[in-house]
Amino acid sequence: MIEKDIERIYFSKEEIQKRVQELGAEISRDYADKDPILVGVLKGCFVFMADLTRCIDAYAEIDFMAVSTYGNGTTTTGAVNIRKDLSYDIENRHVIIIEDILDSGVTLSYLRNYLMNRKPASIKICTLLDKPARRKADISADYVGFECPNEFIVGYGLDYAEKYRNLDYIGVLKPEIYQ
């Protein structure tokens, strides 16, 4: 039913699974003895983070933050609103921020600076998707699943107006749906 709104599949379920396993192996290697805390940025990260966490063969704690800059639109408002803060103290901890997509970079730049004030041992960013064509902030990810086009994509946790997160692939949303 919801597939009718998708113009084309950009990353298949199989491509995503393979890349998530590779990212998990990289993080496992880099953090084997560091006991990181994985900080998921809700809501978009939840599918990616669940799969990624199962691919990490190292001790790790999990926490979440809920931040918003989009509302129900397709472009960021630029104002970052923290709706849920961390439950754990991150001082002297290795933090990996898990995000679904690095788009404008406004949210992640703000979040990284916000968390740096808590004196972690380190902060790295892991994003499933990187969309550099829309970057407004000077930020990049340390772990990237895929570079993606400057098109409106949904699925595998990414939404439009809270819909399409449940697709097991990432597809390009038909323009007539969001225009």
Q: Write the CATH number for 145.
A: 3.40.50.2020
In a domain, 175, yes or no: no
Query: Does 7 reside within a domain?
Result: no
User: Hey, what's the torsion of the CAs at 154, 7, 74, 145, to 10 degrees?
Assistant: 40
The whole-angstrom separation of Cα 147 and Cα 64 is 24
Mean pLDDT for the stretch of residues 157-176: 96
19 in a structural domain: yes
The total number of structural domains that make up the chain:
1
Predicted pLDDT at 125 = 98
Q: What is the pLDDT of residues 21-51, one digit of tens each?
A: 999 999 999 999 999 999 999 999 999 999 9
Q: Is it the case that residue 159 has pLDDT exceeding 60? A: yes
Q: What residues are labeled active site? A: 103
Of 9-13, 73-77, 174-178, highest mean pLDDT: 9-13
Cβ-proximal residues to 10 (8 Å cutoff; 6+ apart), any chain: 148, 149, 151, 153, 169, 170, 171, 172
Instruction: Say what the pLDDT of residue 151 is.
Output: 92
Q: Does some domain include residue 78?
A: yes
73 domain residue, yes or no: yes
Percent of the chain at pLDDT > 90 equals 88
Residue 52 lies in a domain: yes
- pLDDT attached to residue 43: 92
Residue 179: pLDDT band (50, 70, 90) is confident
Domain with 103, as residue range(s), is 13-151
Residue 173 counted as domain residue: no
Report yes or no on 133 lying in a domain.
Answer: yes
Compute the distance between CA of residue 67 and CA of residue 26 in angstroms, rounded to an integer.
27
User: What does the pLDDT average to over 162-174?
Assistant: 96
Q: What is the pLDDT of residues 89-136, one digit of tens each?
A: 999 999 999 999 999 999 999 999 999 999 999 999 999 999 999 899
Report whether 102 contacts 127 (CB < 8 A). yes
Return all residues near 17 (Cβ < 8 A) that are at least 6 apart.
Answer: 51
